Amino acid sequence: MSTWMVAFNVAVLVGLLVVLYALQRKHLSFSGRVFAGLGLGLALGLAMQLAYGAESDVVKRSTEWFAIVGSGYVRLLQMVAMPLVFVSILSAFTRLKLASDIGKIGGLVLIVLLTTTAVAASIGIASALGFGLHRSGLATAAATAPPAGELEARFERVQSQTLPQKLLELVPANPFLDLTGARPTSVIGVVLFAGLLGLAYLGLKENSPEQAGDFARLVEALYGVILRLVRIILRLTPYGILAIMARAAATSNLRAIVSLGEFVVASYVALAVMFGVHLLLLLGAGLHPLTYARKALPVLSFAFTSRSSAATLPLNVSAQRQLGVPSGIADVAASFALSIGQNGCAGVYPAMLAVMTAPAAGIDPASPAFLATLLAVVVLSSFGVAGLGGGATFAALLVLSTMNLPVGLVGLLISVEPLIDMGRTLLNVSGSMLAGILTSRLTGSLDTGVYADRSRTVEVTG
């Protein structure tokens, strides 16, 4: 009987995919199809959970088939993410307009990312204290709970390293290994390798212009091919979001969400306030925040459902261009933000956990000395956070172990991790887009006409 139920659920999914294809044939906008996929997936997932239960065999087997569409789409985006990061950074050096200002651009992007991460951590601290999470029974129980399974292995590796060793791990020893994403810090390793190659290109340009020209043409050709591949994959976005959302809604542990509801609410309050800070920064730069929100919404929706900043990279870059950011700055901002200064995963989340666990270590979480140390550690630890699901766990372990705080809370929150990670990833991607926009504004290269043009949206055709 269950086999027929699974077949029915898969048939419903296929039918909804056909509906999305019909909407595409009727030339519904890309944004419209993305939100249609989001709504249809949510409805299907919730219906399945109500009908069978989140942990039922029918839901498990059905969502395994759903993963062919949803996880398959995310894997395609992850497939192109590393090559796109590598070639994007290189192309920023090979374009004469950016080559002369590459240090300034990279510096401004880093300043925006790290500053907003510090602000995000401050908001996370305020939310944890405001909701009284440092006095909750959850934090007390977690103080004596050891990490288990894979989490324990990650904790032991992080705990055994000193801060200099953790920073040294950011430096790539084998860039080709990092191109496979084998390490938690692979993305920043690829960024560093591409940056060094870019600097070598600038030196070659002075000494051997002909060879440098050949290299630049090769990089631009590779960049064009990869962007073409990205556009092909992005056409699948509405279908991928439908399957991802259906699976997430069908398998979410609603009971765990209710039992840990206070932490979930406090987290989303902090994330929402920080997103408001993003909009205020845009307003302060003389840019209409609602224009940004409207154009960024399809990208942020995908970040929310996929829980992967790396998978969102192509959409991120495309959206920045439709907001008037030059392609070189968009590439640098989006690539840097995959491993540096993630507002949600490396800012809000570890700061909240540190405040919650501080009393168990005999520390007053409201102490100015503790808060100053925490902000410094959070900012430093934000280097090298992976732009994939699980990056926040790594960041939390890094911060808590560096400050000698108990890490058991990380394990206890695993049950609600997917739900919170959706909002964190959305904030991460918004932070990277903000870095590109503000850097463009500060360097005078932002096309305000394109930014304000409501007809310009994320393009996936061509």
The pLDDT tens digits for 247-303 are 888 887 666 666 677 888 999 999 999 999 999 999 999 999 999 999 998 889 888
Domains of the chain, start order: 2-452 (1.10.3860.10)
User: What's the pLDDT score for residue 14?
Assistant: 94
User: What's the pLDDT score for residue 1?
Assistant: 60
Instruction: Check if the beta carbon of residue 330 is closer than 8 Å to that of residue 320.
Output: yes
Please report the DSSP string for 183-214 in residue order. STTHHHHHHHHHHHHHHHHHHHHHH-HHHHHH
Instruction: Check if the beta carbon of residue 123 is closer than 8 Å to that of residue 277.
Output: yes
Mean pLDDT to the nearest integer, 16-28: 91
- The pLDDT mean for the chain works out to 82
Whole-prediction pTM = 0.76
Using the predicted structure, report yes or no on whether residue 27 has a pLDDT greater than 90.
Answer: no
User: What's the pLDDT score for residue 149?
Assistant: 47
3-state SS, residue 338: coil
Please report the DSSP string for 353-397 in residue order. HHHHHGGGGT--TT-HHHHHHHHHHHHHHTTT--SSTTHHHHHHH
User: What's the pLDDT score for residue 411?
Assistant: 62
Confidence of residue 111 (pLDDT cuts 50, 70, 90): very high
Lowest mean pLDDT among 53-57, 148-152, 180-184, 242-246: 148-152
The Cα-based distances of 156 to 144, 146, 393, 412 in angstroms read: 16, 11, 13, 17
What is the distance, to the nearest Å, from the Cα of residue 295 to the centroid of all Cα atoms in its chain?
18
Using the predicted structure, report yes or no on whether residue 96 has a pLDDT greater than 60.
Answer: no
Mean pLDDT to the nearest integer, 34-42: 86
pLDDT tens column, 342-393: 899 889 999 999 998 888 778 888 899 999 999 998 888 777 565 555 567 7
Using the predicted structure, report yes or no on whether residue 461 has a pLDDT greater than 70.
Answer: no
